[in-house]
Amino acid sequence: MRGRALVSLLAKLGGLLLTLFLSSIVIFSALLLTPGDPVATLAGGKRPTPEMIAAIREQFRLDDPIWLRYIDWLGGVLTGNLGESFVYKTPVGELIGPRIGVTLTLVIFAVILIAVFGIGSGILAATRGPKADRAVLLSTSIGMALPTFVMAILLIWIFAKMLGWFPVYGGGTGLLDQIHHLTLPAISLAVVYIAYISRITRASLVGELSSEHVDTARVRGIPRSRIFRSHVFLNASPQILAVSGATIAGLFATSAIAEQAFGINGLGSLLTEAAARKDLPVVQIISLLLVAIFVILNAIADTVNALIDPDSLTSGRNA
Amino acid sequence: MTAAVAAAGALALVLSGCTSDGGTDGDTAKPVDTDALVTALPAATKDVDSVTWGLVEGEPLSLIPGQDYNFVSPNLCTSLLTLNGDFTAAPGIAEKADWVNPVTFQIDLRDGVKFWDGNPVTPEDVVYSLTRHWKDVTDAFYGAFVFVKSISITGDNQVTVSFTAPDSTFRDAMTGGSGAVLEKAFSEKAGKALGTAAGGVMCAGPYKLDKWTPGQDIVTTANEDYWDGAPKVKTLTYQFISDGATMTNALLSGDVDGAYNVAPSSRATFESAKDGKLYLGPSTSSFSFGPVRDTGLGANIKIRQALNLAIDRQQYIQTVLHGLGYVQSTFVAPFSWSGSPAADTYQKAYDALPEPKVDLEAAKKLVEESGEDTSQPINLGIPAGSKELSQTAAIVQSAAQQIGLTVKIEELQAADFSAIFVDKDARGDLDLISTVGYTETPGVLTYPQLFVLPPEQGGIFNWTGYDKPEVTQLIQSARTATDPQAAAESYVKAQEIFAPDMLQVTLAGAYHTTFLNNRLTGAVTSVASYSTPWAAKLGGK
């Protein structure tokens, strides 16, 4: 049993690496195939002379075959050399480094909100009778319909402009100030996912509550709270977890919108800007980073699932 | 001869990211009383520890003057001459810089000016800095140096520039980035990294570059040894806020103390602000559209004249600029000559130009006379994300419809749009593009010669093959005139011929906008802020 689980885990790890490898090929080639000559970007809005164009092509090896450039790039990424930004002419690592922190804080903040309010309201809807169920259903319907940027505008309007409780701009410095600055962005980012997780939680709990073993437990006279903890919630959690993995990865991608609206210098706003400026090396690394986060989070969700329910690994009940 | 003057880069780069509305104004915007325009704010009296300045243009690409246009570099790397807010020139790093004969320009350096590292500014540094532009045809300021024959050291504190022909534009150019002085030793050591976050710069301006964290901010500190006195603001931090609405919020909440080029659409919000004020200054900036190829409807003068007659300027200024602009009769803004000794001549000729007005009947007639197949659409390119230019395109589209023309709007990503200026292929099947253009130093020739001269003589935006020998000759004689009055006379004669050809259809002149927190004063508030150390006098009230 143990051995099989280990083999299975290793297979998963292999799959993870393969996914990352294939993604890196797709990311690298897709961006090279986009229209527009990077020379225009590299010339920095100036009128390049033929000599300048030749120098740029040579320096950034634009005339080498794609596969050679890919191998070079991948080799660089694996050894920590992330390349140089076309626009800033500085190492990509230096651009990304300072921005990861604020995006990470923002995402963690949002995850906490999603976990507390999403799972909390889902439990409420499933266990506190039809009135609570309807109330949660209604609010999650509204929540799901509100895209991040609309939420951002609403929050700025109400809590920053009318009430003046929160700042409207920047990421803040120091932990308390950061929390103060990131509250509105985190809420605007979390709302859609809170609604989503709430629905998932409710659905899986309702399914478990009406299952046979819960009925049996009830008949045996086990207290309700214990039934809920050790039977219902534990059984429902793999499904909730699986969705959560994808949710957190999604948060990294949508953080761009919240970062833009609140003037936060994070990864998302860097990606948006780099894409608009055709800064390929930066776009490539951030895209790869996002894919990696996505794949790794899913793998973590799977592993945690396996710890809760070891059969999931071998029985093919993968989420 | 080629001439790639400052405006070349400017046209491509000044597409400020004013993307969305931060205001709630529904009322008709009031016109601006031109007497209320200010070029500089009253002097500051108090020291201030720190000021945060917002850059709506986004993060600078480089701090080397000419590599990028931004409001940071003029405070770091100052020029031989200083530009005042009203577009007049004053001494700068040079105590005196002027013509000693028609082909010799002499620069006498001020005694005791030091770079931030304590090294004195020497004639070698000046020669190095000027030669950078002179020897590099891709340099944005190359155009200012096309008649230069040699740049040499002629004394302990003196540099002399010799010319192959007189150049009436050179002295004005020395007030801007063309005349900025960088330390030679530092610059050569920095090599390719010069001006970037990694390499930095070494200059003699009122602020020293302290730390540039890419994507985060640029921190600068007061140069206590600045030749014109220590700045009152001790730490000046620049933040990059390319979203117009976010900028408005940041300014109103006091997170950011000031910014230039704030969104006209936020005018009402700014005017009702309690902690800060919106200042309007004169500018050379204008909104326009123009042709980008020598075939198709856009290349036909009659079609451009027809469009010119179909657009309601008053409505345009209301809708796009929320009243913060004025009707401009040709593509060179009157502020360009405000500091010139021949200003009267320019103004008289400008006043004689017909003021644009709506005449749909005449416009339809012109369309008919053009002989063009009007069933084909006119492709109008604009950069994505600019609210003002997207409104501009919509207005041009509906005006065109009234006279039987179809305009198709194409939004281009920022990088694709800037590629239009350097790459013929990037223009593709576009007929017209709409832009905001400005010149950041005085002089009327800078801008029009890009459009009216043949390409090999410096008409780098002359994409329609416009070629009128008389215009070329008059522009060249204006440039090589030794007397400002003679230069003005040649220029206005040329203008009479090229103005009706609508190489740019000017929609409106725009005022320079500045929003500043009430605790501050002293900043330059005209378009000169692109060239002048505008923060040198900034401080507390």
Which amino acid is residue B90, in one-letter code?
A
Burial of B453 (0-12, 13-18, 19+ CB in 10 A): buried
Nearest to residue B501, comparing CAs of B534, B540, B462?
Answer: B462
In this predicted structure, the answer to whether residue B15 has a pLDDT above a threshold of 60 is no
Name, in order, each residue with C-beta under 8 angstroms of B384's C-beta and a sequence gap of 6 or more: A276, B411, B412, B413, B414, B417
What is the DSSP-derived secondary structure letter of residue A239?
H
pLDDT tens digits for B143-194? 899 899 999 999 999 999 999 999 999 999 999 999 999 999 999 999 988 9
The torsion region of residue B454 among left (phi > 0), alpha (psi -120 to 50) and beta comes to: beta
Does the beta-carbon distance from A45 to B242 stay under 8 Å? no
Please check whether residue B538 is in contact with residue B77, taking contact to mean a CB–CB distance below 8 angstroms: no
pLDDT tens digits along B180-208: 999 999 999 999 889 988 899 999 999 99
Which stretches of chain A sit within 8 Å of chain B by CB? Answer: 36-37, 40-41, 43-49, 52, 85, 87-90, 94-95, 98-99, 156, 160-161, 167-170, 260-263, 265, 269-270, 273, 275-278
Q: Which residues of chain A have a CB within 8 Å of the CB of B242?
A: 273
Tell me which chain B residues have a C-beta less than 8 angstroms from the C-beta of A87. 61
**Distance between CA B179 and CA A188 in Å, rounded?**
48
- pLDDT at site B17: 32
CA distance B171 to B179: 9
| pLDDT at residue A31, as a whole number | 67
Q: Which residues pair with B286 in a beta bridge?
A: B437, B509
Whole-angstrom CA distances from A51 to A43, A54, A57, A58, A84 are 12, 5, 10, 10, 21
Q: Supply φ then ψ for residue B525, to 5 degrees.
A: -120, 15
| Closest chain B residue to the Cα of A41, Cα to Cα | B415
> Do the Cβ atoms of A122 and A194 come closer than 8 Å?
no
% of chain A with per-residue pLDDT over 90: 15
Cβ–Cβ gap B216/A98 under 8 Å = yes
- Reference B239, options B268, B218, B263; nearest CA is B218
Name the nearest CA neighbour of A230 among A247, A218, A248: A218
Average pLDDT, chain A: 82
pLDDT in tens, A111-168: 999 999 999 999 999 888 889 999 999 999 998 888 888 888 888 888 887 888 888 7
Q: At what angle do helices B484-498 and B469-479 cross, to 10 degrees?
A: 160
Q: Which band of pLDDT confidence, cut at 50, 70 and 90, is reported for residue B99?
A: very high
Count, residues in chain A: 319
- Comparing C-alpha atoms, which of B220, B132, B115, B135 is closest to residue B179? B132
The pLDDT assigned to A310 comes to 65
Percent of chain B at pLDDT above 70? 95
Q: Residue B8: is its pLDDT beyond 60?
A: no
pLDDT value at position B370?
94
CB atoms within 10 A of CB A303: 15
The pLDDT confidence band at residue A73, using thresholds 50, 70 and 90, is confident
Q: Answer for the pair B413, B308: CB distance below 8 angstroms, yes or no.
A: no
Chain A touched by B250 (CB under 8 Å): yes
pLDDT in tens, A225-269: 888 877 788 888 878 887 887 788 788 888 888 888 888 888 888
Pick the range with the lowest mean pLDDT from A43-47, A127-131, A163-167, B95-99.
A43-47
Name which of B216, B287, B174, B198 is nearest B52 in CA terms.
B216
Of the candidates B234, B215, B238, B189, the one whose C-alpha atom is nearest the C-alpha of residue B72 is B238
pLDDT in tens, B353-364: 999 999 999 999
Phi-psi region of B134 (alpha: psi -120 to 50; beta: other; left: phi over 0): alpha
CB–CB of B243 and A45 under 8 A? no
The H or E element that residue B191 is part of is none
Q: Reduced to 3 states, what is the DSSP secondary structure of residue B263?
A: coil
Select the more confidently predicted residue: A301 or B62: B62
Whole-angstrom Cα distance, residue A146 to residue A163? 21
Please list, in sequence order, all residues whose beta carbon lies within 8 angstroms of the beta carbon of residue A93, skipping any fewer than 6 positions away: A80, A81, A82
Structure tokens given for B375: 């069933």
- Quote ipTM for the complex: 0.71
**pLDDT given at position A317:** 41
CB B434 within 8 A of CB B382: yes
More confident residue, B415 or A319: B415
10 Å Cβ neighbour count for A170? 24
Contacts of residue B169, Cβ cutoff 8 Å, sequence gap at least 6: B144, B443, B445, B446, B479
Q: Angle CA(B319)–CA(B321)–CA(B322) in degrees, nearest 5?
A: 65
- Average pLDDT of the residues of chain B: 90
Q: Which of A47, A157, A257, A282 would best serve as a mutation to test chain B binding (most B beta carbons within 10 A)?
A: A47
Distance CA B343, CA B158 (A): 31
- Please tell me the predicted confidence (pLDDT) of residue B474: 96
Inter-residue contact B277 to B432 (CB < 8 Å): no
CB B77 within 8 A of CB B530: no
3-state secondary structure of B42: coil
Interface probe, candidates A39, A88, A150, A270, chain B, greatest B C-beta count within 10 A: A88
| Helices A92-113 and A267-276, packing angle to 10 deg | 130
What was the pLDDT predicted at B194? 92
- CB–CB of B422 and A45 under 8 A? yes
Residue numbers in A near B138 (CB within 8 A): 43, 46-49, 52
What residues of B are in contact with residue A52 (Cβ under 8 Å)? Answer: 138
How far does A67 lie from chain B, in Å, by closest CA?
26
Flag whether residue B10 sits within 8 Å of chain A, measured between CB atoms: no
| Smallest Cα distance from B198 to chain A, Å | 7
Chain B residues with CB-CB distance to A41 below 8 A = 415, 419
| Three-state secondary structure string covering A90-135 | CEHHHHHHHHHHHHHHHHHHHHHHHHHHHHHHHHHHHHCHHHHHHH
Q: Which of these, B274, B294, B380, B283, lies nearest to B325 by C-alpha position?
A: B283
- Once rounded to an integer, what is the mean pLDDT over residues A65-90? 84
Q: What is the pLDDT of residues B103-140, one digit of tens each?
A: 999 999 999 999 999 999 999 999 999 999 998 877 78
Q: How many CA atoms lie within 13 A of B249 on its CB side?
A: 29
The token pair that represents B274 in the structure block: 């309690």
Decide if B320 contacts B77 (C-beta within 8 A).
no
